[in-house]
Structure 1
Amino acid sequence: MTDDERRQDAEASPLHRIDRKSNGEIRPTERLAMNRTGSFDWDLDAQSLDIDEAGLAVFGVEPAAFDERPGTLLEHLEPAERARLDVTIDEAITSGSNSYSVHFPMPLDDGTTQWTHVQARILRSRDGKAHRIVGVVRDATAEVTHSAFVLNLEKRRQRQTSIVERTTSAMSRAVTVDDVTAALTGPGGLARLGADGLALGLVENSAVNIAALSGESLEVLDGLGSGELDRDLPLTDTIRSGRPRFITSLTALARRYPALEPHLGELKFRAAAYLPLVAQARSLGGLALFYRERMVFNADERILCLGLAAIVAQSLQRAMLFDEEREFATQLQSAMLPSRIQEIEGGEIAVRYHAAWSGRQVGGDWYDVITLPNNRYGLVVGDVQGHDTHAAAIMGQLRIALRAYAAEGHPPTTVLVRASRFLAELDTDRFATCTYAQVDLASGATRVVRAGHLGPLIRHADGRVGSPRVRGGLPLGLSTDLQDETYPETRLDLVPGETFVLYTDGLVEEPGADLDTGVEALRSEVSTGPAGAEALADHLSERLWERWGSGDDVALLVLRRSPDVGSTHAPRLHQYIHQADPEGLSDARSIVRQALADWGLAAFADDAELVTGELLGNVLLHTEGGAVLTLEVLPEPVRRVRLSVQDRSSTWPRRRAPGETSTSGRGLLLLDAVATRWGIEPRGEGKAVWCEIGPAPPTARERSAPADGCRSDEATARDHGTSGDAAGASGTDPGLSPGPGPDGG
């Protein structure tokens, strides 16, 4: 278009039909018209509109065609937009407002859309009635378009900021490499990155290992990604070169990397960003982000992708360092613990050590099993104060010293006193807690001492779990410094089939709860867990240590004494009744009745339950410890119930002749009346009172005659030998004397 044509076109436009003063100055109305802005005066009473030519040009109406009706200006407006404009004006008039402002799109004859802005003032009479509206109307297309651009730009920047913030937050909580991959591929991982798929490859030696894949159809790349670093693939190429690659054409990608061509049909993506993961000049791997719809990567999007790669790389570097430190700490701790636990005779034992997830901050938890003479074993679980290599070093020295003192044959109290002095002489400000037990698996006798540590748990054969009241002293080292080296010994009985559990506080410390809550949870899991020592140790580790969050080290020791179930013809059960257990006596009577019912001997249940209560009550009242109840069935030809109650007191009961008003002294008389035979036997450090309930044993003449022609005297004698019975074949015990001791009450 020539200059003349432009001048003629401008003169033809109503916006440029401008009257100028003789000196060429542009008037105010003309200035507005040049900026596509006009004015109007709307008489509401007369319903007429006076609008200048510039205003008519904004609405695209020729002056000759305008009939002064407001509706004429809005004929081209969409019905919905016209209704919205009418509502805006009506609300302004009826609400008493003095002005209104509105933007609306208006189609033009050339097919384009113009954004129009009306800014008006409402004039009212003294009574508040609106009678005129005056204002300006202008073409606001450029302004609105720019605002939309700015708004869209702001939305993109907000989205990019959100992606960076959410990714940074997720990566900040990742501790290990597994945590990083879980954050990338777990729920919400792709949404945080703003991608539809991802592949993470990590450099290991001279190879690339695909550590994570996420996104539909990406499994086809699983076999392609891992392998040697010199393979001609986009991810390995990016890692080698250290330069990002932004792909918007998969066809061009296949031409560059022919190995991908057979798999392009299965991929549901149109673009990808291959990003190197570099931290402190070390190449860690590569990250590939895949997109379904994206066709271009502008400067902001490329910067965003590179920023995400930097965040992931820094998180990976931190996680790799953590994994290396944790492996070092775990190996250091494991080297200081026993390399193996020997098999034991008469039971099974399992140990577990779990390191806390805290890098090189190793703890001082330990366990040990020490072989002692006469089929006895020393069991130790302890914890040195602190979580660092110093605590681990002290633990190693203390474990060896305590093991040496125990192997010398010292009683448990002496072992802990010497261990405390050893720790005090190390010239350290650390102390240690521990529980030490000497267990005789032949008899079940257990001697326990505590040094500021948690006491043991015992699971009985019927699944109940008890917490014996084990007296304790100050932590090792601290007791020597305070000159209070007192470690009282508690005597327990571990009957066949029972399980002895020692542990450190990491197994019961639940975040946000007190220690008692964790101990109760442990008791519940011990009760419901499997019977075997190994299986129970795994069960406790899975249910508690992993459940609490593995924030502390854990040492766990589980010892189960082999059960003694007898045979199908002569079953047997054992039960320990602790003196401090108020429900133990009632539970024992119930166990006896249920066992005899299960064995088909319910006819003897009343007498057996009565005798159980008398014998156990005598022990709990007149001795200073608990009792071991043994119930068994003597084999045929005459099936009888044999019941034995063992305690640690060496004083034997004596028979008395109580008066009519006496409240005690009838226990042995009742036993004599109910039992077929009874007696007392010495048992090492104590005694056992036993009785038999049921048919009388065969006489000497009956024993000499074969039963039904199929049993000999020798066979019968083997079945009913009385070499271990203190009472012989009589109904009373010749060993009973009126000497001192409990009255049998």
Structure 2
Amino acid sequence: MTDHDRQSSTPAAPRRPIEQSHGRGSVTAEGLVMKRTGSFDWDLDTGTLDIDEAGLLVLGLDPLSFDSRPESAVERLDAAERARLDEAVNDAIVGGRSSYSVHLRVPLDGGKDQRTHVQARVLRGDDGRAHRVVGVVRDSTAEIDHSEFLLDLEKRTQRQTRIVERTTSALSRAVTVDDVTASLTGPSGLARIGADGLALGMVEKSALNVIALSGDALEAVTELGSGEELDRSLPLADTVVSGRPRFLNSVSALVGRYPAVAPYAEHLRFRAAAYLPLVAQARTVGSLALFYREPTAFDADERSLCLGLAAIVAQSLQRAKLFDEEREFATGLQSAMLPRRIQEIQGGEIAVRYHAAWSGRQIGGDWYDVIALPKDRFGIVVGDVQGHDTHAAAIMGQLRIALRAYAAEGHAPSTVLARASRFLSELDTERFSTCTYAQVDLGSGAVRVVRAGHFGPLIRQVDGRVGSPQVRGGLPLGISTDFGDEEYPETRLDLVPGETLVLYTDGLVEEPGADVEVGVQALIHEVSTGPAGAQALADHLSDRLWERWGSGDDVALLVLRRSPDPGSPRAPRLHQYVHQADPEGLSDARTMVRQALNDWDMAELADDAELMTGELLVNVLLHTEGGAVLTLEVLPEPVRRIRLSVQDRSSVWPRRRSPGETATSGRGLLLMDAVAARWGVEPRGEGKAVWCEIGPSKPSGPSPAKSSART
């Protein structure tokens, strides 16, 4: 035999008397069966294998017929096992290793396999060449079976621990009953609890209502009539009434115990089911059914796991049900203190939204209101009483009614807040409140705003830009009276047709752990990009911001939009408010005029109109103390002209000047004479409007307002 042949052969054992095997002495047959361990000596030079009788029995060979050839020792092994043994032997001999160890499956008579362990040492000469291999073979079936049992037990324990941990973690975040059902039936819900189907029922007024179905839960159709009294002929209801779990390892077992299920048996796709009562605080609150596609024996460990899951679900369900009840009470109290109906207004649209905080009874004192006032005006208010409890809500209700009464009496906005502060201070409470109140006249667009420690309003302009006007403010209500400072200065704003005013409380802009300015900028962005209508914009802000920040605080939101004034197809009209403190307002107004005339196919008038826009607005911004409302419209005449009008709150009319050669101002009316076909000045409410008409021809006769002009 060549060296290669020796190194590719497999160890077995030539027969020799047992009493001479490595000095073991005489061994009985009974002893061989008990020991199941033998030894071998493989001479690589001669190619013979000497193996004792115990070793032959381990390998399933007949000691009387073994011919000492290595090939005969492995004749019972299948090809794959023989290849593994050859690989281990060759790696050791050729690779220069001193030993090898390999586990094999040896087929035995009767069709069973024996797990056999071969462990050997390679003996080499001084030249490093292998000459002999000596070792032992032993029956390791019991050892490996025990090891596999322990591994399987460990895997099952880890699986059960994982199921409990993941289910507990998921349900710990569930607040409402809907949250509980979502965690069980949502993505990964069934995988989390290790089942293929689920049915969850809750006891409500002596009836069982199925509130969740998932996966292979078709048998729950038998519970669809369960809105009535509990029926013990059905498994879920029986579990509730008896308070005992039912473990069924086959559909036949289910039908045998509950014949009412028989009509549905052929449609069921599960092979085992566990019906578990949900017990919390010594009371059965419902039942949980788990279904499995694979056969399940429901041993002690599996039953303990199912009962543990039921206990976790029961506690979560009970806690969620209590939260829902508390929340219903709290939101009911809050809703009762808010206006039931918001009046319709002429010339605009109002939308209000209130969202309660998701914290049980921990509601807040946020509120909104719309108050009818004389002369077709109305008041709007959004406020927030300190605290997040029912006491805050009660204070809010009283304060809202008081503020409504003061406003309805016709007082100025500053007086309304001063009296509301005094009222809150006299309520014998340590709570204070912030709010923003405004009196609105949509006929003129005038908005008179006062602020008590609250966010100022936002104004969305017609072109979508959003401004945050500087509204002077005073101390929060209650605190201002305690400190003897009930001053609430008014700020005049102008809402032009098509513009929108937004009032809100801090719950809409405060994100836990973030600067409130981040939330305000997010609100400005959403107001700018949201839909134009008041109702649609209120819904947009609620969806994008209230749900984004979470539910830690309640939110009051009021959106007021003045109706657009587009004119008619033959006589379109645009309005834009230019704030005195807005450095880009003049440029934006000029751009708006040019773009509008291009859109109306009147681009030939754009240069003159843009020049006049600048002159009219600069006159207001330099010589008055407020902003201006710019109106651009087309006059439907046979020869179409455009009219530019700038309205301000100053009663001083412009007058003509005679500027010298070096003067840098005073030429505005001269330019208007040169460019405009007509121009004039008209009284408008608290101020005036300066207007001019630009067209292709100039009528004869003097301009009506040339006698008194100033620029």
Q: Return the TM-score normalized by structure 1.
A: 0.86
Post-superposition offset of 1:482 = 5.0
The structure-2 alpha-carbon separation of the partners of 1:665 and 1:697, relative to structure 1 and needing over 3 Å to count, comes to closer
Post-superposition offset of 1:320 = 0.4
Post-superposition offset of 1:572 = 2.3
When structure 1 is superposed on structure 2, of 59-68 and 308-317 the one drifting more is 59-68
The structure-2 alpha-carbon separation of the partners of 1:536 and 1:27, relative to structure 1 and needing over 3 Å to count, comes to same
Post-superposition offset of 1:486 = 4.5
Query: How does 1:25-174 map onto structure 2 within 5 Å?
Result: 34-93=34-93, 97-124=97-124, 130-174=130-174
Match of 2:11 in 1: none
* Per-residue deviation, residues 653-709 of structure 1 (Å, max 9, x unmatched): 22111122222111111112111221112223222111122266888xxxxxxxxxx
Post-superposition offset of 1:98 = 4.4
Match of 1:731 in 2: 703
Distance 2:456 2:680 in 1: 36
Match of 1:224 in 2: 224
Post-superposition offset of 1:588 = 1.5
Q: Is the 8 A contact 1:575 1:629 kept in 2?
A: yes
Distance 2:131 2:648 in 1: 112
Match of 2:372 in 1: 371
Post-superposition offset of 1:26 = 8.5
Post-superposition offset of 1:138 = 1.3
Distance 1:244 1:677 in 2: 93
The structure-2 alpha-carbon separation of the partners of 1:222 and 1:469, relative to structure 1 and needing over 3 Å to count, comes to farther
Match of 1:715 in 2: none
Distance 1:665 1:89 in 2: 111
Q: Is the 8 A contact 1:678 1:692 kept in 2?
A: yes
Match of 1:354 in 2: 355
Distance 2:667 2:28 in 1: 128
Post-superposition offset of 1:733 = 1.4
Query: How does 1:283-682 map onto structure 2 within 5 Å?
Result: 283-481=284-482, 485-511=486-512, 513-682=514-683
Match of 1:712 in 2: none
Residue 505 of structure 1 aligns to which amino acid in structure 2? D
Q: Is the 8 A contact 2:677 2:699 kept in 1?
A: no
Q: Is the 8 A contact 2:655 2:707 kept in 1?
A: no
Distance 2:670 2:610 in 1: 16
Distance 2:362 2:498 in 1: 39
Match of 1:9 in 2: none
The structure-2 alpha-carbon separation of the partners of 1:15 and 1:196, relative to structure 1 and needing over 3 Å to count, comes to farther
SS across alignment from 1:340: coil
The structure-2 alpha-carbon separation of the partners of 1:406 and 1:49, relative to structure 1 and needing over 3 Å to count, comes to same
Distance 1:315 1:128 in 2: 71
Match of 1:197 in 2: 197
Distance 1:431 1:732 in 2: 56
SS across alignment from 1:690: strand
SS across alignment from 1:164: helix
Match of 1:278 in 2: 279
Distance 1:731 1:376 in 2: 36
Match of 2:240 in 1: 239
Distance 1:225 1:269 in 2: 22
Distance 1:114 1:83 in 2: 17
Post-superposition offset of 1:736 = 0.8
Q: Is the 8 A contact 1:15 1:54 kept in 2?
A: no
Post-superposition offset of 1:638 = 4.9
Residue 476 of structure 1 aligns to which amino acid in structure 2? L
Residue 228 of structure 1 aligns to which amino acid in structure 2? E
Distance 2:128 2:456 in 1: 89
* Per-residue deviation, residues 284-308 of structure 1 (Å, max 9, x unmatched): 2221212222153222222222221
Residue 621 of structure 2 aligns to which amino acid in structure 1? L
Post-superposition offset of 1:362 = 0.5
Residue 116 of structure 2 aligns to which amino acid in structure 1? T
* Per-residue deviation, residues 228-264 of structure 1 (Å, max 9, x unmatched): 2333322222222222222233234335444433322
Q: Is the 8 A contact 1:679 1:732 kept in 2?
A: yes
SS across alignment from 1:227: coil
5+ residue gaps in structure 1?
Answer: 1-13, 20-24, 700-728, 738-742
Residue 509 of structure 1 aligns to which amino acid in structure 2? E
Q: Is the 8 A contact 1:608 1:693 kept in 2?
A: yes
Q: Is the 8 A contact 2:678 2:698 kept in 1?
A: no
Distance 1:546 1:346 in 2: 32
Distance 1:132 1:43 in 2: 5
SS across alignment from 1:65: coil
Q: Return the TM-score normalized by structure 2.
A: 0.90
Q: Is the 8 A contact 1:220 1:266 kept in 2?
A: no
SS across alignment from 1:472: coil
Post-superposition offset of 1:610 = 1.4
Distance 1:86 1:572 in 2: 96
SS across alignment from 2:120: strand
SS across alignment from 1:383: strand
The structure-2 alpha-carbon separation of the partners of 1:487 and 1:99, relative to structure 1 and needing over 3 Å to count, comes to farther
Residue 195 of structure 2 aligns to which amino acid in structure 1? A
The structure-2 alpha-carbon separation of the partners of 1:135 and 1:406, relative to structure 1 and needing over 3 Å to count, comes to same
Q: Is the 8 A contact 1:383 1:504 kept in 2?
A: yes
Residue 162 of structure 1 aligns to which amino acid in structure 2? R
Post-superposition offset of 1:470 = 1.9
The structure-2 alpha-carbon separation of the partners of 1:134 and 1:31, relative to structure 1 and needing over 3 Å to count, comes to farther
SS across alignment from 1:111: coil
Q: Is the 8 A contact 2:634 2:640 kept in 1?
A: yes
The structure-2 alpha-carbon separation of the partners of 1:250 and 1:603, relative to structure 1 and needing over 3 Å to count, comes to same
* Per-residue deviation, residues 73-97 of structure 1 (Å, max 9, x unmatched): 1121122222222322343455655
SS across alignment from 2:111: coil
SS across alignment from 2:224: helix
Match of 1:178 in 2: 178
Q: Is the 8 A contact 2:676 2:698 kept in 1?
A: no
Post-superposition offset of 1:220 = 7.3
Q: Is the 8 A contact 2:210 2:224 kept in 1?
A: no
Post-superposition offset of 1:551 = 2.8
Match of 1:724 in 2: none
Distance 1:600 1:260 in 2: 77
Match of 1:209 in 2: 209
Q: Is the 8 A contact 1:358 1:551 kept in 2?
A: yes
The structure-2 alpha-carbon separation of the partners of 1:735 and 1:446, relative to structure 1 and needing over 3 Å to count, comes to farther
* Per-residue deviation, residues 622-653 of structure 1 (Å, max 9, x unmatched): 32221101122333345432221011222222
Q: Is the 8 A contact 1:450 1:487 kept in 2?
A: yes
Distance 1:283 1:64 in 2: 72
Distance 2:58 2:634 in 1: 112
Match of 1:708 in 2: none
Post-superposition offset of 1:731 = 0.7
Distance 1:74 1:482 in 2: 102
5+ residue gaps in structure 2?
Answer: 1-14
Post-superposition offset of 1:536 = 1.9
SS across alignment from 1:613: helix
* Per-residue deviation, residues 538-588 of structure 1 (Å, max 9, x unmatched): 222122212332332110001112222333343322211122222222221
**Matched positions, count:** 692
Q: Is the 8 A contact 1:533 1:560 kept in 2?
A: yes
Q: Is the 8 A contact 1:420 1:479 kept in 2?
A: yes
